[in-house]
């Protein structure tokens, strides 16, 4: 199944939280993400160039708490669950640019569905304020972060490694708790106040990939790291967690090749470099459709080497075409056909009903992250603080209660869970997969599972 809806509606940008509350039942739209949000539930919309919006998820009091999730999650009712409150929730995602198709829609879809499910389960309403980070455009950061500050936004779901770390100075300034479901290697290198990584950091899975290579293709010895030429911290992280893991795993680093950014589509120069290095395997940090484009061009070059990436979305296979089967990937992966837990089954069915397609890993991460916000809201209420206001009580809630629900990993009525390592400020011991790419509509095939450090490696 593919996702076809595109394009935001053009509406007035720059409204503050106070203006929003005064206009149209708190549903006033402040920019282009409004149309993207609308597109999350429909197959068509118009286009625009602005970049922000708001939406509020509400439900009637009689319906709140009657959701199947209420019993499954074991949440309290009434005030203890945040019912009757409206919490401003910021979102910084790829709502424009090359990454919008693969990530922007799924970012919004996961959050939108979670807000409805939380409201139906008796939780708070959210005044959702999405902003466009351009999929890694740091020039956008000061503008949208200052808007969050002006709106007194207490919590932010962010992406693209806090937009290549450029958001970091604003968190403490505006007392915004940032939860990053789309982090990169840079996030594992520095402890940033008010910031937590809500997924596996790109590159930490490499020991598991090396284990798979050694067990499945023992003849492979030479490995090239194909990395984005991005900010210094991210490059440092990639070299440490990817190239370093190759050498620590007993394989030979054939060298390093760099590509420019997420918008690059012609890889002829890099393929020429790869040919000269003569690797037997390539570890590549591209994402979305871009890695599929590279896989297609590499297959046409005639060079024989196995390709391993750190991400897969349907756009990857679409861009790669028939060459998609030559691509392997690692990372956290949500298999919409698994449905081993009651929550997984409910989530997949609800997502398909709402959006007409299956949920991806990216939409699932942000669906879960929105529920993590709800858990923090309940902890803040229990502690006697106000979750509608920014402040250190949000950070304290994470530090005192670092374990969170997960749609993934549960069985039957038992919930999956993830735990925050407070030293690294990232989730610990998440299950990662090694899977093969596929030609749509077939989904990827999981070949092995392991923890982020390569431990507990098991072939499937």
The pLDDT tens digits for 325-374 are 999 999 989 999 989 999 999 999 999 999 999 999 999 999 999 999 99
In sequence order, which residues have a C-beta less than 8 Å from that of residue 443 and are 6 or more positions away?
A: 335, 336, 337
pLDDT recorded at residue 421: 87
pLDDT recorded at residue 125: 97
Same fold, 17-200+340-428 and 206-331+430-459: yes
Q: Tokens 């879809």 identify what position?
A: 109
In angstroms, the CA 292 to CA 298 distance is 10
In sequence order, which residues have a C-beta less than 8 Å from that of residue 396 and are 6 or more positions away?
A: 383
In angstroms, the CA 141 to CA 146 distance is 8
Contact present, 120 and 64 (Cβ < 8 Å): yes
The pLDDT tens digits for 7-54 are 332 222 233 333 333 333 332 323 334 334 433 443 333 333 334 566
pLDDT at 3 over 70: no
**Residue 143, both tokens:** 């503008």
Phi first, then psi: give them for residue 12, nearest 5 degrees: -70, 125
DSSP state of 148: H
In angstroms, the CA 108 to CA 61 distance is 25
In angstroms, the CA 230 to CA 245 distance is 20
In angstroms, the CA 6 to CA 38 distance is 10
* DSSP three-state, residue 326: helix
pLDDT recorded at residue 429: 67
Contact present, 106 and 315 (Cβ < 8 Å): no
Phi first, then psi: give them for residue 253, nearest 5 degrees: -80, 115
In angstroms, the CA 347 to CA 361 distance is 12
In angstroms, the CA 340 to CA 438 distance is 22
pLDDT recorded at residue 58: 52
**What architecture is domain 206-331+430-459?**
3-Layer(aba) Sandwich (3.40)
Contact present, 115 and 82 (Cβ < 8 Å): no
In sequence order, which residues have a C-beta less than 8 Å from that of residue 276 and are 6 or more positions away?
A: none
CATH 3.40.50.2300 fits 17-200+340-428, yes or no: yes
- Measure the CA dihedral 296/104/233/309, to 10°: -30
To the nearest whole percent, how much of the chain has pLDDT over 70? Answer: 85
The pLDDT tens digits for 63-115 are 556 788 999 999 999 999 999 999 999 999 999 988 898 899 999 999 999 99
Helix (H) or strand (E) holding 368: helix 361-382
In angstroms, the CA 134 to CA 129 distance is 16
Question: What band does 155 get if pLDDT is binned at 50, 70 and 90?
Answer: very high
Sketch the domain layout of the chain as residue ranges.
Answer: 17-200+340-428, 206-331+430-459
pLDDT recorded at residue 114: 98
Helix (H) or strand (E) holding 448: strand 445-450
pLDDT recorded at residue 55: 67
In angstroms, the CA 161 to CA 105 distance is 18
In sequence order, which residues have a C-beta less than 8 Å from that of residue 73 and are 6 or more positions away?
A: 121, 405, 415
């Amino acid at each position: 199944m593919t996702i076809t809806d595109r394009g935001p509606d053009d509406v007035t940008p720059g409204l503050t939280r106070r203006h929003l509350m005064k206009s149209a039942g708190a549903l006033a739209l402040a920019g282009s993400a409004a149309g993207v949000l609308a597109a999350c539930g429909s197959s068509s919309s118009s286009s625009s160039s602005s970049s922000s919006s708001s939406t509020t998820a509400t439900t009637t009091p009689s319906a709140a708490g009657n959701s199947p999730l209420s019993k499954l999650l074991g949440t309290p009712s009434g005030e203890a669950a945040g019912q009757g409150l409206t919490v401003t929730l910021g979102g910084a995602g790829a709502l424009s640019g090359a990454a919008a198709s693969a990530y922007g829609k799924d970012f919004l879809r996961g959050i939108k569905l979670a807000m409805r499910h939380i409201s139906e389960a008796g939780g708070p309403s959210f005044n959702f304020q999405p902003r466009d980070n351009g999929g890694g455009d740091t020039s956008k950061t000061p503008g949208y972060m200052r808007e969050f500050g002006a709106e007194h936004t207490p919590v932010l779901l962010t992406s693209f490694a806090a937009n290549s770390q450029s958001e970091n100075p604003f968190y403490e300034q505006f007392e915004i708790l940032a939860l990053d479901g789309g982090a990169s290697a840079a996030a594992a290198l520095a402890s940033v106040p008010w910031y937590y990584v809500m997924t596996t950091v790109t590159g930490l899975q490499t020991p598991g990939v090396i284990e798979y290579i050694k067990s499945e293709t023992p003849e492979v010895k030479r490995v090239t790291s194909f990395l984005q030429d991005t900010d210094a911290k991210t490059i440092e992280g990639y070299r440490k967690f990817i190239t370093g893991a190759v050498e620590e795993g007993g394989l030979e680093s054939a060298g390093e090749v760099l590509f420019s950014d997420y918008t690059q589509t012609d890889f002829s120069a890099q393929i020429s470099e790869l040919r000269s290095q003569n690797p037997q395997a390539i570890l590549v940090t591209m994402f979305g459709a871009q890695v599929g484009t590279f896989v297609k061009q590499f297959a046409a070059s005639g060079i024989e080497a196995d390709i391993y990436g750190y991400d897969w979305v349907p756009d990857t296979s679409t861009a790669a075409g028939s060459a998609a089967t030559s691509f392997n990937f690692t990372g956290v992966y949500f298999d919409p056909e698994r449905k081993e837990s009651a929550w997984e089954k409910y989530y997949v069915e609800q997502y398909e009903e709402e959006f007409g397609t299956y949920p991806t890993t990216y939409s699932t991460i942000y669906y879960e992250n929105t529920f993590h916000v709800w858990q923090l809201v309940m902890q803040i209420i229990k502690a006697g603080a106000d979750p509608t206001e920014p402040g250190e009580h949000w950070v304290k809630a994470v530090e005192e209660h670092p374990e969170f629900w997960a749609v993934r990993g549960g069985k039957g009525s038992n919930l999956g869970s993830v735990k925050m390592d407070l030293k690294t400020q990232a989730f610990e011991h998440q299950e990662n997969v090694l899977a093969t790419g596929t030609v749509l509509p077939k989904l990827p095939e999981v070949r092995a599972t392991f923890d982020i450090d390569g431990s507990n490696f098991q072939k499937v």
